[in-house]
Amino acid sequence: MSTDNSPVTEDPNKRLVESLVGMTVESTSTSEAISELADAFLASKNIVFCTGAGLSVASGISLYRSDSEPNAIWNNYVETTGRLETMRKMGVTKWFNEFLMDSHYNDSFLNAIPNAGHDAITELTRIFPNTSVITQNVDNLHKKSGMEYSQLYEVHGNLTGWRCLNRNCKHHKKEVLRLNLDDYIIPGSSDPLRYDPKCPLCDSHATPNVLWFDMSYGDIYMAGGHTFDDIVRLISAADVVCFVGTSNSVGITGHIEHIVYDQNKLAFDFNISSETTLVRSKLIQGPAAETLPALVNLLKERAPDRF
């Protein structure tokens, strides 16, 4: 047993973050990481957020993959269902009614509102213009939170947009379609979608403008006119990369992780897990709806004139 009677000094960063957000920071390493990330913002570094499904959990949307979450979407629907090939084999109407209407076009998706994590990231992009967001999420919550497409890259698309399956149509890849599903629905029916959604320009079948499992990055139209090459350039130019609610089981996260590793970039992992699986990433443990506002509040404390 130690006989040292000198007072124990507590990390001031940990106390500050706890007082600002009203949460208990799990470890000194988390508070130090939040403090280090705040320094990067104040130094006008190029910062990129890579956000995944974990960010939207606080908005009531289920995870896509989880060993501990029985309602995770791909726990209930095998990945072979989320493919255009399956849509063609099943028939468009059957695919919509048995898969898409239940898995995505439901109240939890359509009526979800941004949580404090989304709002914190949007505030950061407004105050620090060198900040950008690459999101895997198709739930439209970043846009609902007020983020501009000049700083938002929806690499997996967005459920609010539609894409014509006719490769010769401008709505295939150059311009997103806006369709109203109410035009195709029979109210009160057990199979609510009666008519196949069609492109109003060429009358070909239309599907949500999202990246299905048998598609490749670059196959969809990204709002803002962004391309996958733009994303690669964005990551390569970044000084700091922040992963939020994602893992390297997702293709784009793994791709970004390789760039982080190869170029020895500073990286942070906002995650509820007690350990990060992302190489070279400093863990910021806790719900993103709490840790991201903690970052914003710390920045307001250090640089109130910026807000």
71-87: burial string, b at 16+ Cβ within 10 Å, e else: ebbbeebeeebbbbebb
Structure-token match 């806006």, residue found: 178
Whole-number Å distance between alpha carbons of 143 and 155: 14
Structure-token match 């130019």, residue found: 237
Q: What is the mean pLDDT of the chain?
A: 85
pTM: 0.86
% pLDDT > 90, the chain = 58
pLDDT in tens, 31-45: 999 999 999 999 999
Cα dihedral sign, 182-63-155-205 = negative
pLDDT at 215: 93
Structure-token match 């208990």, residue found: 24
Average pLDDT over residues 198-216: 92
Q: Is 154 helix (H, G, I), strand (E, B) or coil?
A: strand
pLDDT in tens, 93-105: 888 888 888 778 8
pLDDT band at 187 (very low <50, low <70, confident <90, very high): low
Q: Is 162 helix (H, G, I), strand (E, B) or coil?
A: strand
Average pLDDT over residues 69-90: 75
Average pLDDT over residues 253-282: 90
pLDDT band at 6 (very low <50, low <70, confident <90, very high): very low
Give the full edge-to-edge strand order of the sheet including 131-135: 152-154, 131-135, 47-51, 240-244, 266-271, 281-285
pLDDT band at 3 (very low <50, low <70, confident <90, very high): very low
Identify the burial level of 89 via C-beta atoms within 10 angstroms of its C-beta, where 0-12 means exposed, 13-18 middle and 19 or more buried.
exposed
Where is pLDDT greater, at 64 or 231?
Answer: 231
